[in-house]
């Protein structure tokens, strides 16, 4: 497989690269040096650019700092997309993304303007997630878990390595899984072809451009750039589709309504007397203890910090009665306070080889704390709701 470079016109040259190929690194440097463009455009957004160029800072960034800055999608993407390519990269002795770094370094060396031409990865992934149905999300989540903990050698042999090497990291993943999540493939591949082409076209108005993109995008970008009118609305492609109303959200709203209805029914039907007051106290006690104990037990099973267990116990009875927060979020914040994961812990997920590694990883523990605290609260609702209904109508 040889790197591609295509001259669109006297102002645009496309260089198609593989993310784990020394040939691509050499080709990028050669094309920039020989063509002497005014602008070197790279298929990165601001977030991915910083993740590549400030690697040490990125790897040691606390996970909570990224969550607060709305970068959770970037964490997931970087972990998901690098898992397979890290294994392939070891075979070829080169880090994924080296060709983009080479383009950036060569542009700085020759004092060329650097243009970031990809759509913000958080927008891309949010658009993909919102457009997927529940079946696609479930199937993709399974592939995500497989990627986190690494494909075994047999699975790697089944992958078409040459085809993977021809793609950029996002397209590689979606080409492999597009039968599983066609809605996501539309957003992650074809929308980005149009978006990147438009950005390259806009940059070409300022001067000669060498655009370094994943080889998997070459044909799509070329097709758009050769159109008589490049009719691409960047603002439309940066909009996040509205959230769908899910069964879970309906249930989250229904639970507090039912709880309140039971309490008011007791007062309305029996009056506010000692008997109804005793039942109301029993209802609140059952709700508090069932949710608190099961949510706290979940954090205990996850081997969470004692204060995280206490937090889940206290938070679960209250969060179960409103649709906006979950006990796992609060328990997770406390767990992270005492055992703060950094991005490096996320990247270490693909190197887990034993159950000991699994349970010692800070990210795994944090995820389990959040998930099992929430699961405990959900089970608590399943148990407590029929129980208080029987008290209310009994």
Give the pLDDT confidence of 277-304 residue by residue, as tens digits.
888 888 899 999 999 999 999 999 888 8
Does one domain contain both 257 and 233?
A: no
Does one domain contain both 362 and 318?
A: yes
Does one domain contain both 204 and 288?
A: no
Q: In which element (H, E) is residue 9 found?
A: strand 4-9
Against a cut of 0.85, is the pTM above it? no
Does one domain contain both 128 and 72?
A: yes
Segments forming the whole domain that contains residue 344: 247-393
Region 83-112: mean pLDDT is 73
First to last CA, the chain: 75
Is 387 part of a structural domain of the chain? yes
Spatial CA neighbour of 118 closest among 236, 234, 241, 239: 234
The predicted structure's pLDDT at residue 350: 55
The predicted structure's pLDDT at residue 370: 85
Domain boundary among 187, 204, 237: 237
Burial of 50 from C-beta contacts in 10 A (0-12 / 13-18 / 19+): middle
Does one domain contain both 45 and 164?
A: yes
Domain boundary among 237, 270, 291: 237
Does one domain contain both 217 and 315?
A: no
Q: How many domains is the chain built from?
A: 2
pLDDT of 58 > 50? The answer is: yes
Does one domain contain both 183 and 123?
A: yes
DSSP symbol at 159? S
Does one domain contain both 174 and 273?
A: no
Does one domain contain both 279 and 319?
A: yes
pLDDT category, 248, cuts 50, 70, 90?
low
pLDDT digits (tens, 9 = 90+) for 28-37: 999 999 999 9
Distance CA 83, CA 89 (A): 10
Distance CA 249, CA 127 (A): 20
Is 242 part of a structural domain of the chain? no
Distance CA 204, CA 214 (A): 19
The predicted structure's pLDDT at residue 343: 63
Does one domain contain both 355 and 222?
A: no
Domain boundary among 237, 259, 283: 237
Does one domain contain both 298 and 340?
A: yes
> Can you give the length of the chain in residues?
394
Ranking 31-35, 72-76, 109-113 by mean pLDDT, the lowest is 72-76
Residue with more model confidence, 249 or 386: 386
Does one domain contain both 230 and 276?
A: no
Distance CA 381, CA 375 (A): 10
Is 290 part of a structural domain of the chain? yes
Is 369 part of a structural domain of the chain? yes
């Amino acid at each position: 497989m040889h790197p591609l470079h295509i001259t669109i016109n006297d102002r645009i040259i496309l260089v198609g690269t593989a993310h784990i190929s020394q040939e691509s690194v050499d080709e990028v440097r050669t094309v920039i040096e020989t063509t002497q463009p005014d602008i070197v455009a790279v298929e990165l957004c601001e977030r991915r650019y910083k993740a590549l160029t400030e690697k040490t800072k990125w790897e040691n960034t606390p996970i909570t700092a990224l969550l607060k800055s709305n970068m959770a999608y970037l964490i997931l993407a970087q972990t998901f997309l690098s898992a397979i390519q890290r294994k392939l990269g070891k075979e070829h002795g080169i880090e994924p993304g080296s060709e983009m770094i080479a383009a950036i370094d060569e542009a700085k060396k020759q004092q060329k303007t650097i243009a970031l031409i990809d759509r913000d990865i958080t927008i891309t992934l949010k658009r993909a997630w919102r457009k997927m149905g529940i079946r696609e999300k479930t199937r993709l989540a399974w592939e995500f878990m497989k990627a986190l903990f690494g494909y075994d050698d047999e699975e790697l042999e089944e992958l078409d390595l040459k085809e993977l090497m021809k793609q950029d990291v996002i397209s590689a993943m979606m080409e492999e899984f597009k039968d599983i999540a066609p809605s996501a493939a539309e957003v992650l591949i074809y929308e980005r072809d149009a978006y990147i082409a438009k950005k390259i076209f806009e940059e070409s108005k300022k001067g000669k451009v060498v655009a370094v993109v994943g080889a998997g995008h070459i044909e799509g970008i070329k097709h758009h750039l050769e159109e008589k009118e490049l009719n691409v609305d960047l603002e439309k492609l940066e909009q996040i589709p509205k959230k769908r109303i899910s069964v879970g959200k309906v249930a989250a709203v229904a639970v507090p309504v039912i709880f309140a209805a039971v309490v008011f029914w007791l007062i309305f039907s029996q009056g506010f007397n000692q008997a109804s007051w005793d039942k109301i106290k029993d209802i609140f006690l059952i709700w508090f203890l069932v949710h608190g104990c099961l949510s706290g037990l979940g954090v205990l099973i996850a081997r969470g910090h004692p204060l995280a267990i206490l937090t889940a116990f206290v938070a679960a009875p209250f969060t179960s009665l409103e649709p906006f927060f979950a006990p796992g979020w609060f328990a997770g914040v406390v767990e992270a306070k005492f055992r703060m994961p950094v991005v490096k812990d996320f990247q270490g997920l693909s190197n887990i080889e034993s159950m000991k590694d699994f349970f010692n990883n800070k990210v795994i523990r944090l995820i389990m704390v959040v998930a099992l605290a929430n699961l405990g609260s959900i089970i608590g609702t399943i148990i407590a709701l029929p129980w208080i209904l029987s008290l209310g109508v009994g």
